[in-house]
């Protein structure tokens, strides 16, 4: 603010509104030459600029003090749209369409949902092969032949031997029954033949 006031006062000074006109060389006396007159003019000009700068700084500080006392509510200026499209119609008219920034178009809830969706896809793509590999590893560990306790194995051997012994005994009994049946049939055939021969006599 001080710099703006300074430049304004310099513009006024340059215009000659407050500048004192330099006395012509003929009025100054015989001892002053053209160079001396220029030096005097430069000194006076410097003093005037210094005074104006001091007064403008003092006015600026007073204005800032008064502005601090008075509070002016300035409504926020809407930001210009990021994308501006210009459409040229057939008759030469131009239509300008502005699109607001993406942060105003897309609600934050939609952004959260899309981030959650892509995270879920990443978890599925990475987690599914890991879960399958873990399941296969567990199947390999539990899928081998079951370890039977020693006592149960001994009992199974004894049962197997007993079943074999029973099978041999059943075979012997069936052989004996077949032998008995054959003997009985031979005796019956011999008895029938003796009866026939006795009847024929």
Query: pLDDT digit string (tens) for 138-177?
Result: 888 765 566 788 899 999 999 999 999 999 999 999 999 9
By the 8 A CB rule, do 43 and 73 touch? no
Residue 172, exposed/middle/buried by CB under 10 A (0-12, 13-18, 19+)?
A: exposed
- The residues pairing with 98 across neighbouring beta strands, listed in sequence order, are 84
> What is the rounded average pLDDT for all residues in the chain?
77
Buried b (16+ CB within 10 A) or exposed e, 10-19: eeeeeeeeee
Beta-carbon contacts of residue 95 (< 8 Å; ≥ 6 apart): 86, 87, 89
DSSP 143: S
- Note every long-range contact of 25-28, with CB atoms under 8 Å and residues 24 or more positions apart, other chains counting: none
Helix (H) or strand (E) holding 94: strand 94-99
Rounded to 5 degrees, what angle do the CA atoms 172, 173, 174 make?
Answer: 90
Structure tokens that stand for 196 in this block: 């026939």
Least confident of 39-53, 71-85, 89-103, 146-160: 71-85
Give the pLDDT band (50/70/90) at residue 99.
confident
pTM greater than 0.85 (yes/no) = no
- How far apart CA 86 and CA 122 sit, in angstroms, is 41
Is 51 a residue whose pLDDT tops 70? yes
- pLDDT > 90 in the chain, percent: 32
């Amino acid at each position: 603010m001080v710099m703006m006031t300074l430049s304004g006062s310099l513009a006024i000074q340059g215009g000659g509104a407050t500048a004192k006109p330099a006395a012509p060389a003929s009025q100054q006396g015989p001892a002053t030459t053209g160079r001396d007159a220029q030096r005097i003019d430069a000194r006076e000009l410097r003093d005037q600029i210094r005074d104006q700068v001091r007064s403008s700084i003092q006015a600026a500080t007073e204005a800032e003090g008064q502005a601090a006392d008075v509070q002016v509510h300035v409504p926020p200026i809407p930001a210009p749209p990021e994308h501006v499209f210009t459409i040229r119609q057939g008759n030469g008219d131009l239509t300008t369409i502005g699109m607001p920034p993406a942060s105003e178009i897309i609600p934050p809830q939609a952004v959260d949902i899309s981030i959650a969706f892509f995270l879920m896809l990443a978890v599925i793509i990475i987690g599914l092969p890991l879960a399958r590999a873990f399941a296969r590893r567990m199947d390999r560990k539990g899928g081998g032949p079951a370890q039977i306790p020693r006592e149960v194995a001994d009992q199974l051997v004894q049962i197997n031997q007993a079943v074999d012994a029973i099978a041999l005994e059943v075979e012997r009994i069936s052989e004996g029954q077949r032998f008995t049946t054959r003997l009985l049939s031979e005796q019956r055939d011999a008895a029938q033949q003796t009866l026939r021969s006795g009847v024929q006599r």
